[in-house]
Structure 1
Amino acid sequence: MPTAGPRSGDAIFASVERVNAELFTLTYGATVRQLLTDLEEVEEVNKQLDQMGYNIGIRLIDEFLAKSNISRCVDFKETADVIAKIGLKMFLGVNATVTNWDAEGTCCSIVLEDNPLVDFVELPDTCQGLHYCNILSGVIRGALEMVSMKTEVTWLRDMLRGDDSFELQVKLLKQIPEEYPYKDDE
């Protein structure tokens, strides 16, 4: 994953085209509501949101790399910092911080200062197991996989569940060796 270069998350966010935030929030809410209706099981909705995010993340990384103009990260710590300070700012306009590193430097928390996905949202009692913003964990997981990092991304805290902040745990499971196909001339 690239490191922060000449363009900050704020500069990139200011220069990219955006859709109306309220329209985006309401459309996402309608998507979650439809999944709840179609799938009926909250855990299945969580899985579907994660998979949708994963599919977005594996495509979004190309745009991120093209627009951010940053060089390759040296380690997972630097990668997490780029996600928090540039990636989340670039695509969601959200400031985030990286905290709670483990001793090995393979697990951390990303705490979001704001979360536009939850504007206008209140979960009913029947949806208390729902990770409403699970699409974000999938996006991060998918994007990191495309830059050779197999990760597990889970929600630790969620303001929709009564917590004081939104906190994702990102755990590096393994570095995926980059493979370059070649044609053997025989």
Structure 2
Amino acid sequence: MVLVAPRTEDTIFANVERVNVEQFTLTYGAIVCQLLTDLEEVDEGYNIGIHLIDEFLAKSNVSKSVDFREATDVIANVGFKMFIGVTACVTNLDVDGTCCSIILEDNPLVDFVKLPDNC
């Protein structure tokens, strides 16, 4: 299911409960470090993004979107701003409209995370 804002992104952001960015990035860093310690396969830890999207959808009151691109724009411009205080850029949208890259130009998530070279 693809979702989109019933209002503009700024309106949604103004009405969404935000989290403390520093607290989130510190917690995220601790979780990543613990996952790297506990898991033999680091790919098992990727589901944190799914949980963040669930949280965003629960708090933002968005409705069904017209297409995948519209949904990714809302996530990049509202979801990331809600959780980490920055917006992202949607790029590399495939021709089927089912896959893309979301790029953070300024990534506060790396402030408290030291990844091994293989990651």
TM-score range, shorter chain: 0.7 to 0.9
Pair 88,59 (structure 1): closer, same or farther in 2 beyond 3 Å:
closer
Specify the alignment match of 1:91 in structure 2: 83
Separation in 1, partners of 2:83, 2:17: 9
Q: 1:35-74, aligned counterparts within 5 Å?
A: 35-39=35-39, 41=40, 44-47=41-44, 49-65=45-61, 70-74=62-66
Separation in 2, partners of 1:17, 1:102: 31
Identity of aligned residues (%): 47
Aligned-residue Cα RMSD (Å) equals: 2.8
Larger radius of gyration: 1
Pair 72,34 (structure 1): closer, same or farther in 2 beyond 3 Å:
closer
Separation in 1, partners of 2:14, 2:111: 19
Specify the alignment match of 1:18 in structure 2: 19
Partner SS for 1:94: coil
Pair 37,98 (structure 1): closer, same or farther in 2 beyond 3 Å:
closer
Question: Offset at 1:113?
Answer: 1.9
Separation in 1, partners of 2:48, 2:71: 22
Specify the alignment match of 1:103 in structure 2: 95
Q: 1:163-178, aligned counterparts within 5 Å?
A: none
1:7-48: CA deviation from partner (whole Å, max 9, x where unpaired):
517x72696343251x33232222222222223x2xx2331x
Give, as a single letter, the amino acid of the residue that structure 1 aligns with 2:58: D
Separation in 2, partners of 1:59, 1:16: 11
Specify the alignment match of 1:162 in structure 2: none
Question: Offset at 1:88?
Answer: 1.4
Separation in 2, partners of 1:117, 1:14: 24
Separation in 1, partners of 2:102, 2:21: 25
Using the size of structure 2 for normalisation, the TM-score is: 0.73
Partner SS for 1:107: coil
Q: Which residue of 5, 11, 17 maps to 2:7?
A: 5
Aligned residues between the structures:
117
Question: Offset at 1:86?
Answer: 1.7
Considering fraction of residues, name the structure with more helix: 2
1:39-87: CA deviation from partner (whole Å, max 9, x where unpaired):
3x2xx2331x22344344334421122xxxx553111111111111122
Separation in 2, partners of 1:12, 1:85: 9
Give, as a single letter, the amino acid of the residue that structure 1 aligns with 2:59: E
Structure 1 position 129 matched with structure 2 position 115: no
Higher relative contact order (CA closer than 8 Å, sequence separation 6+): 2
Using the size of structure 1 for normalisation, the TM-score is: 0.51
Q: Is the 8 A contact 1:4 1:82 kept in 2?
A: no
Separation in 2, partners of 1:121, 1:54: 20
1:77-124: CA deviation from partner (whole Å, max 9, x where unpaired):
11111111122122221211112222232222211122211114443x
Specify the alignment match of 1:116 in structure 2: 108
